[in-house]
Copies of this chain bind each other. A is one copy, B any other.
Amino acid sequence: MPLRLQPIGHVITKASHEALRHGTAISRIIVNRRFAKGLDGLEDFSHVFVLFWLHEVSNRSRKLKVHPRGRPDIEEVGVFATRSPHRPNPIGLTRVQLMRRKGRTLTVKGLDAYDGTPILDIKPCDRRDAATRLRVPSWCKRLERENQHRHV
């Protein structure tokens, strides 16, 4: 059975690569007219998960081991232990803040998808998704610390 997907919409953004990378970008998601009814009630959630197709990643660049966030100073780990786009199935997943819904246009903060990216799904974020205590590897803590300093 072939596993086939269809875009349900696309991203519009003028944010810089820097803003996309650091979770500060403001983007719009335009949902196709035929799926617009599926958004009813989404505006009652503060955060949603956006699933998108990593359309700028070529088949050839898929890898099983990667340096986290492309940083050669951090040891390679398996691609499933990272959010790298070079994955067997090029699906991106990002939790974003839903700032506004107007008809079939969503304004979101924190989406790290380029302008024109096809959207696959939108799912609400509820308490089952919010961990109380997360354990993460030391490379991940290091990256978090660095990002905090950058934003002070």
Give chain A's interface residues, CB within 8 Å of chain B. 1-8, 23, 31, 35, 37-42, 44-47, 49, 51, 53, 55, 64-65, 77-83, 87-89, 91, 93, 95, 118, 120-131, 133-138, 140, 144
Residues on B with C-beta less than 8 A from A51 are 51, 89, 91, 93
CA distance A87 to B23 in the complex (A): 27
CA distance A130 to B134 in the complex (A): 8
CA distance A37 to B64 in the complex (A): 6
Residues on B with C-beta less than 8 A from A35 are 64, 80, 88
Residues on B with C-beta less than 8 A from A42 are 77-78, 80-81
CA distance A44 to B139 in the complex (A): 10
Residues on B with C-beta less than 8 A from A4 are 2-5
Number of copies: 2
Residues on B with C-beta less than 8 A from A53 are 3
CA distance A65 to B38 in the complex (A): 6
A148: min CB distance to chain B, Å: 10
Residues on B with C-beta less than 8 A from A8 are 88-89
Residue contact A77 to B40, C-beta cutoff 8 Å: yes
The chain B residue sitting closest to A136, CB to CB, is B126
A94: min CB distance to chain B, Å: 8
